[in-house]
Structure 1
Amino acid sequence: MRDWMKKGLAASMGLAVISKERMEKILRDMVKRGEMTPSASKELLEKLIVRGEQEQEQLDQYLRGRMNKLLKEMNISTHEDIQDLKQQIHLLEERLTRLETKYGTPPQEDPDQGS
């Protein structure tokens, strides 16, 4: 699945670069033909880049949401799930330490003895 994601992201980035290069060429040609001023060309390109970045962010958000949904459907733990569990363990360890301090530490079992 990671390979598929990497290929998809690389393709989208490649398309973005090609699109930017193609748009720059089109705008340069329009300036050469006198259909657009250089400043108007630059302004339009900047607007298109901003719009492209906004659309890329929307796509990223959609993909993150979709991936999270797929991970949940597949019952795979996310980084957030693991962090939550680590926090719970930390809180339980603190609570256990307080209880051991208050009531004394119980004798440790020898792990080599077995049951």
Structure 2
Amino acid sequence: MIKDILYTGLGGALLLKERVDEEIEKLQERGKLSKDDATAFLEKLQTRGEEEEEKFKAQIKEALKEVIDEMGLATKEDIEALKDK
């Protein structure tokens, strides 16, 4: 399930990137955006995307921890503690 969510998110991101690239190319063709400006914009967009990806991963991780706690499942640390006893 989580794998499907991640693949859906990646697919959406790729589609968005393609659309952004198309729009930037159109703006360049019309002379409304220089190559340097387009490159800077894409780099800024990529950086922001990476930051958002990290936030998303942290949120998924936290949600999974909450589900595990609510279900009362043993964690790796719980199992290691039992092994040590």
Relative to the length of structure 2, the TM-score reads: 0.89
The one-letter code sitting in structure 2 at the alignment partner of 1:10 is Y
Percent identical among aligned pairs is 28
Q: What number of residue pairs does the alignment pair up? A: 85
1:19-55: per-residue Cα shift (whole Å, max 9, x none)? 1111111111110111100110011011001101101
- Report the counterpart of residue 47 of structure 2 in structure 1: 50
- The aligned residue for residue 23 of structure 2 is 26
Larger radius of gyration: 1
4+ aligned runs moved over 6 Å, structure 1: none
In the alignment, what sits opposite 2:78? 81
The 1:72–1:34 alpha-carbon spacing in structure 2 relative to 1, beyond 3 Å, is same
Unaligned runs of 5+ in 1: 93-115
Choose between structure 1 and 2 for higher RCO, CA contacts under 8 A separated by at least 6 residues. 1
* 2:11 aligned partner: 14
1:71 aligns with 2:68: yes
Q: Deviations over 1:39-83 (max 9, x none)?
A: 10011011001101101110110110011000110011233433x
CA RMSD of aligned residues (A): 1.5
> CA shift at 1:85, angstroms?
2.1
Gaps of 5+ in 2: none
Alignment-mate amino acid for residue 65 of structure 1: E
Given the superposition, is the C-alpha separation of residues 22 and 79 from structure 1 closer, same or farther in structure 2, using an over 3 Å criterion? farther
More helix by share: 2
Deviation at 1:10, TM superposition (A): 0.5
